[in-house]
Amino acid sequence: MAALWKTCHQCLRYGFSNASIYTSITAVNVISKRNFKAHWVAPTLRELQRRKVIEEDRNGGPKIFHRSTFLEWNYDAEIFAFSNRLGEKFNDSSLRAALTHKSYIERETARLSDIGVESNLQFHDNEALAKKGGEIMSKFINGYLRAVFTQVPEELIRAMHDFLTSNATLETVAKHIGLGDLMLCADFPCKTETYVKSFKAVVAALAESSGEERARIFVQDLVVTQLYGQDVNELWNPVDPVGNLTAILKREGKAEPEFRLIRQAGSNSILAVYYVGVYSDKNFISEGAGESLEVAKEMAAREALKKLFHTEDSMRALPFGRQLKNIQSRIAQLENQPNVPLSEWISQKVMSAVH
Amino acid sequence: MSNSHLFLPSGFIRTPLQNGLGRYIPQLQRITLKFCKSHGGSRGVRDFIESDLMEFAKTNPGTVVYLKPRRHRSPCMVAEYLNGEREYLSCHEFSRDEVYKWLSYMCTRSGIPVMRFRKYQHTDYPTIQGVWNPFTHQAPEINVAEFPHEVLSKPNDQGPTATEQLIEIFKKTQMEDPANKPPN
């Protein structure tokens, strides 16, 4: 009997990963195996779960604990692992300062003075580091965008930069590199601003510890990659594409854009589609489709601008990681040189660029 | 297909935070090995700790390893990932090699729960030349054509009919007939 039980147990070790019916709201994934439990186990657990659900509904959510409240927690080991995980070397003091928030220092000093202990805590907060980190991160992002999107007007560069440095994007990045457990802050669960500040401070700490070059690669690997999968034309579009196209062609000395209807279907129905083509001096530039003639005309003008700026759907893939090795110097050079703004954009001005 | 995957969620393959695009970040944040110091069920875990654990910790410096001796409890490992997910695995009566195998399995996971992959590839850019629509590759002549049209009304892949082919064969035989050659 015991031998049979052991054989069953061993040969069912690779059991299918069913979600256990007793999962808590903080889903712990169990690589489950067949278990033979006594008859009272299931009803007991069911009752406990029922009571837990009632309690949590009353309190407005499950109880959450910071990871540092666990018995198995070693902050020094966590910091060591953090820097190794990213493959970077940090100065210990810079990294610790980058992860310490002003709110935490205030809370600690208040707590100690409440007890009556004289506190000469040697904590540095991350205010200055965060500010510096934000500036250098913007600089690195702009450098990359201008080196990769050479034909694009400065307005789109700014829109992409704003997307990459938005609180939502930076919070996601910060959470996924493990900053949530390492930050010393008074608020729990930590606010978005706390995450963003910590991340910016970490970038500054890296620049201090390993140099600007490594910090640039860090920002490119972690922040700029969030642009992947994002359609850049959703981030920014010129307000009057027809007017802008006319102005650009006029500045280049080409003929005025001529819009012609090239395809249509279902004009009497709800699902009407019109294809309008843009021609300059009888040369086809682009076509656009829409549910009405006006919409199709605007889409055609947008497509023409996308073609000029090299941001069509078929544009070249963005380079990341090792593909940036050869253009790092160019990126550094373009950090301080804004692209041509839309009001002055002509092809000749951007033709000399690389990529 | 079988029904055994009905409760297993399905999805498309993905990775947290575009991992690997810029640099690869090992997703295992920390692993906690809980074991009993004396019970027989923890023997494999104890042997693993004594022999292979240091090497594991050195090769994975981005993962924090916690050891938690717990009396009278069966051994287990809890892996925590950077996206906040936790994986629990009971290591009761595992051998030392099995512990090593499952530990290295935990290292290769991202925290995304086990699911049936619908496809083994994923792309954010499914089309480069643009999705086909009925107007793709249409001759522009249809815009100003009057129908019925000599060329456009016919199916464009229609070859010569049998009658036309016979006429062609007849013409060829006509040319080869020596009686039709002008006398020299």
For the stretch A235-262, pLDDT in tens is: 998 999 999 999 999 999 999 999 999 9
Q: Are A308 and A156 in contact (CB under 8 A)?
A: no
Note whether A134 and A166 are same-domain residues: yes
Q: Are A354 and A150 in contact (CB under 8 A)?
A: yes
Considering all CA atoms of chain A, what is the largest pairwise distance in Å, rounded to the nearest integer?
93
CATH classification of B10-119 is 3.40.30.10, yes or no? yes
Please name the helix (run of DSSP H) or strand (run of DSSP E) that holds residue A346, with its range, or none.
none
Give one word for A192, left, alpha or beta, with left for phi > 0 and alpha for psi -120 to 50.
alpha
pLDDT over 50 (residue A12): no
d(CA A160, CA A227): 8
Tell me, yes or no, whether A199 lies in a domain: yes
Tell me, yes or no, whether A22 lies in a domain: no
pLDDT for res A47 = 97
By residue range, what is the domain housing residue A266? 238-317
Tell me, yes or no, whether A88 lies in a domain: yes
pLDDT for res A184 = 95
Note whether A303 and A200 are same-domain residues: no
- End of a domain among A202, A228, A254? A228
A25–chain B Cβ distance below 8 A for any pair? no
Note whether A222 and A311 are same-domain residues: no
Tell me, yes or no, whether A69 lies in a domain: no
- Tally: H helices and E strands in chain B: 4, 6
pLDDT for res A132 = 97
A146-183 per-position pLDDT tens digit: 999 999 999 999 999 999 999 999 999 999 999 999 99
**Inter-chain CB proximity A173 and B25 less than 8 Å:** no
pLDDT for res A22 = 41
Note whether A142 and A105 are same-domain residues: yes
Burial of A217 (0-12, 13-18, 19+ CB in 10 A): buried
Note whether A126 and A214 are same-domain residues: yes
d(CA A42, CA A303): 62
Beta bridge partner(s), residue B35 = B69
pLDDT for res B174 = 87
Tell me, yes or no, whether A9 lies in a domain: no
B59–chain A Cβ distance below 8 A for any pair? no
d(CA A246, CA A258): 9
ipTM (interface predicted TM)? 0.82
d(CA A139, CA A130): 14
Note whether A224 and A312 are same-domain residues: no
Tell me, yes or no, whether A121 lies in a domain: yes
pLDDT for res B153 = 84
Show residues of chain A in contact with B16, CB under 8 Å: 176
**Inter-chain CB proximity A18 and B7 less than 8 Å:** yes
pLDDT for res A6 = 52
pLDDT over 80 (residue A81): yes
- Inter-chain CB pairs, A–B, below 8 Å: 112
d(CA B148, CA B160): 20
Note whether A249 and A212 are same-domain residues: no
> Residue length, chain A?
355
Which of B4, B64, B123, B133 has the most A C-beta neighbours within 10 Å, making it the best mutation to test the interface with A? B64
Tell me, yes or no, whether A64 lies in a domain: no
- We report the CATH number of the domain holding residue A102 as 1.10.1520.10
Show residues of chain A in contact with B90, CB under 8 Å: 33
d(CA A347, CA A199): 38
Note whether A80 and A221 are same-domain residues: yes
Region of poorest pLDDT, from A116-120, A348-352, B38-42, B131-135: A348-352
Q: Beta strands of chain A (E only): which ranges? A: 28-30, 257-265, 273-280, 283-290
- We report the CATH number of the domain holding residue A309 as 3.30.160.20
A206-240 per-position pLDDT tens digit: 999 999 999 999 999 999 999 998 999 999 989 99
Domain ranges of chain B: 10-119, 147-176
pLDDT for res A17 = 41
Q: The whole model's pTM is what?
A: 0.84
Instruction: Please count the structural domains in chain A.
Output: 2
B8–chain A Cβ distance below 8 A for any pair? yes
pLDDT over 90 (residue B166): yes
Note whether A265 and A205 are same-domain residues: no
Tell me which amino acid residue A258 is.
E
pLDDT for res A20 = 40
B17–chain A Cβ distance below 8 A for any pair? yes
A2–chain B Cβ distance below 8 A for any pair? no
> What is the nearest CA distance from A177 to chain B, expressed in angstroms?
6
* Residue B110 confidence class, pLDDT cut points 50, 70, 90: very high
Tell me which amino acid residue B33 is.
L
Show residues of chain A in contact with B63, CB under 8 Å: 81, 85
